[in-house]
């Protein structure tokens, strides 16, 4: 392996806003060599997640910040190319924290352990990071545990064209709710309604988005699946019905302000939560690993029944990962955003 290069991103500075090549340096180094209890993983697919941006800041979210000088953290799917572990053989496909690099070492020091995937794979690799992976499971937990939409209720999902939002809305539909999305382009709204079956979708970049949202929720709002924060969330709180539930999944509109001297859009008032005896609960998918099998069974059932569509945006080449992450914050993706890093070589 010695002569093969390991392309990787190392965090050199905590970004203030958009991530620059100075913050996140792309370069080459030698492929790590492995010892007893270790396996060498070659990254095939990399999942881009809003959490990548949080991990670059000083905030401790679900994991400690990526240390300055460290390889950028990211979930992915890879193949085992060398192994000195009993439980992994060359050719196995694994999922875990591959990092933003061609190669990773799987051992007992990993922040989350690598898992050997079944052969044949239970779905296309992209779906195992998307609708059947951590993003789909996030949607499942937020809708079933917190949102709990009932038939006929109105559920609003923000960032509805994205990985988590598209699945959350489709689960809401499967439970019989009337689901309304918000997204940042007319073409995305079209995709949300035609592709994912939402009843309506409002482009929050339109000047009259407030009127559109009011018209799309004539009976008020019973469930919010919140991915964004900011003005749309604030407006939705003013439309809550008594006994509404809010699944606080993410606040992507704030993440690029982490580390920046310019503050985020502002904090949300909580008075409407009080007035409507509403329930607001946040959650983190990685706190519920014991529930992943239950969630995947449910999601697979919807996929097999044709009630759930997995959608993905694939960017080819590890060298485009930084740019693709930045574009996630300007809305370039629909569905799960993935980097295709390499083709498998020796998979059984
Ligand atoms: P998405 O696939 O939804 O991609 C992010 C989308 O967010 C973009 O496509 C863009 O869509 C929208 N967006 C970005 N910046 C802004 C902004 N400033 N204002 C409004 N919309 C914006 O990402 P994910 O599905 O992976 O994540 C969605 C949310 O779920 C995030 O908040 C993330 O942190 C959260 N999350 C939470 C987890 C948990 O365990 N609680 C686990 C995984 C994700 P558009 O063009 O419509 O603006």
**Residue 125 CA: distances (Å) to CA of 77, 329, 346:** 7, 24, 16
Q: Which atom of ligand 1 is nearest to the CA of 335?
A: 2
Q: Which residues fall within 8 angstroms of residue 27, CB to CB, at 6 or more apart?
A: 7, 8, 10
State residue 4's pLDDT score: 82
Q: Does the pLDDT at position 2 exceed 70?
A: no
Rounded CA separation 52/72 (Å): 8
Q: Is 325 in the pocket of ligand 1 (CB under 6 A)?
A: no
State residue 177's pLDDT score: 98
Q: Are 335 and 161 in contact (CB under 8 A)?
A: yes
Percent of the chain's residues with pLDDT above 90:
91
Phi, psi of 126 (to 5 degrees): -60, -35
Give the residue among 98, 118, 106 at the shortest CA–CA distance from 43: 98
Query: Which helix (H) or strand (E) is 106 found in, with range?
Result: strand 103-106
State residue 267's pLDDT score: 65
- Average the pLDDT over 328-346 and give the result: 94
Taking the centre of ligand 1 as the mean of its atom positions, its distance from the CA of residue 252, in whole angstroms, is: 5
Q: Is 193 in the pocket of ligand 1 (CB under 6 A)?
A: no
Taking the centre of ligand 1 as the mean of its atom positions, its distance from the CA of residue 98, in whole angstroms, is: 22
Q: Which of 51, 52, 159 to mutate to test the pocket of ligand 1 (most atoms within 8 A of CB)?
A: 159
State residue 328's pLDDT score: 97
The two structure tokens encoding residue 290: 């014991």
Q: Is 54 in the pocket of ligand 1 (CB under 6 A)?
A: no
The two structure tokens encoding residue 236: 């939705």
Q: What secondary structure does DSSP assign to 124-187, as a single string?
A: -HHHHHTTTSHHHHHHHHIIIIII---TT-EEEESSTTBHHHHHHHHHHHHTT-EEEEEESSHH
- Average the pLDDT over 104-126 and give the result: 94
Q: Is 249 in the pocket of ligand 1 (CB under 6 A)?
A: yes
Whose tokens are 């996630």? That residue is: 328
Give the residue among 280, 275, 250, 255 at the shortest CA–CA distance from 265: 255
pLDDT band at 108 (very low <50, low <70, confident <90, very high): very high
Minimum mean pLDDT among 184-198, 250-264, 315-329: which range?
Answer: 250-264
Instruction: Classify residue 53 by its DSSP letter.
Output: H
Q: Is 161 in the pocket of ligand 1 (CB under 6 A)?
A: yes
Q: Which atom of ligand 1 is nearest to the CA of 183?
A: 47
State residue 259's pLDDT score: 82
Q: Is 159 in the pocket of ligand 1 (CB under 6 A)?
A: yes
Minimum mean pLDDT among 32-46, 261-275, 329-343: which range?
Answer: 261-275
Rounded CA separation 101/98 (Å): 7
Phi, psi of 104 (to 5 degrees): -140, 160
pLDDT band at 142 (very low <50, low <70, confident <90, very high): very high
Q: Which atom of ligand 1 is nearest to the CA of 285?
A: 40
Taking the centre of ligand 1 as the mean of its atom positions, its distance from the CA of residue 219, in whole angstroms, is: 26
Q: Which atom of ligand 1 is nearest to the CA of 51?
A: 34
State residue 3's pLDDT score: 53
Give the model confidence (pLDDT) of 225-238 as tens digits.
999 999 999 999 99
Give the model confidence (pLDDT) of 78-87 as tens digits.
999 999 999 9
Q: Which of 135, 252, 325 to mutate to test the pocket of ligand 1 (most atoms within 8 A of CB)?
A: 252
Q: Is 184 in the pocket of ligand 1 (CB under 6 A)?
A: yes
Give the residue, by CA position, lying nearest to ligand 1 atom 26.
49
Q: Which atom of ligand 1 is nearest to the CA of 160?
A: 47
Q: Is 183 in the pocket of ligand 1 (CB under 6 A)?
A: yes
- Average the pLDDT over 210-239 and give the result: 97
Q: Is 142 in the pocket of ligand 1 (CB under 6 A)?
A: no
Give the residue, by CA position, lying nearest to ligand 1 atom 35.
250
Helix, coil or strand: residue 325 = helix
- Average the pLDDT over 101-129 and give the result: 95
Rounded CA separation 335/285 (Å): 18
């Amino acid at each position: 392996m010695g002569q093969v290069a390991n392309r990787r991103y190392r965090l050199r500075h905590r970004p203030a806003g958009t991530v620059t090549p100075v913050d996140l340096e792309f370069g080459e180094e030698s492929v790590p060599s492995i010892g007893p209890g270790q396996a060498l993983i070659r990254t095939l697919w990399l999942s881009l997640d809003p959490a990548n941006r949080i991990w670059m800041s000083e905030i401790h979210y679900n994991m400690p910040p990526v240390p300055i000088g460290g390889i950028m953290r990211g979930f992915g799917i890879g193949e085992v190319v060398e192994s000195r572990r009993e439980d992994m053989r060359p050719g196995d496909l694994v999922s875990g924290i591959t990092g933003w690099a061609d190669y990773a070492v799987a051992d007992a020091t990993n922040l989350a352990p690598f898992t050997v995937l079944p052969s044949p794979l239970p779905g296309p690799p992209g779906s195992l990071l998307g609708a059947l992976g951590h993003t789909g499971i996030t949607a499942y937990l937020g809708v079933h545990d917190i949102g709990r939409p009932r038939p006929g209720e109105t559920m609003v999902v923000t960032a509805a064209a994205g990985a988590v939002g598209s699945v959350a809305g489709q689960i809401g539909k499967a439970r019989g709710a009337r689901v309304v999305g918000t997204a940042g382009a007319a073409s995305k709204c079209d995709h949300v309604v035609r592709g994912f079956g939402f009843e309506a979708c409002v482009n929050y970049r339109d000047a009259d988005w407030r009127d559109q949202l009011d018209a799309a929720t004539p009976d008020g709002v019973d469930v919010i699946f919140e991915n964004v924060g900011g003005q749309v969330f604030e407006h939705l709180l003013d439309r809550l019905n008594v006994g509404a539930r809010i699944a606080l999944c993410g606040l992507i509109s704030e993440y690029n302000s982490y580390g920046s001297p310019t503050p985020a859009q502002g904090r949300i008032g909580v008075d409407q939560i009080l007035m409507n005896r509403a329930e607001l609960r946040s959650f983190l998918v990685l706190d519920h690993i014991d529930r992943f099998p239950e969630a995947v069974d449910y999601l697979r059932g919807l996929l097999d029944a044709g009630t759930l569509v997995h959608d993905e945006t694939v960017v080819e080449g590890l060298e485009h990962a930084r740019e693709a992450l930045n574009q996630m914050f300007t809305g370039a993706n629909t569905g799960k955003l993935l980097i295709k890093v390499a083709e498998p070589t020796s998979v059984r």
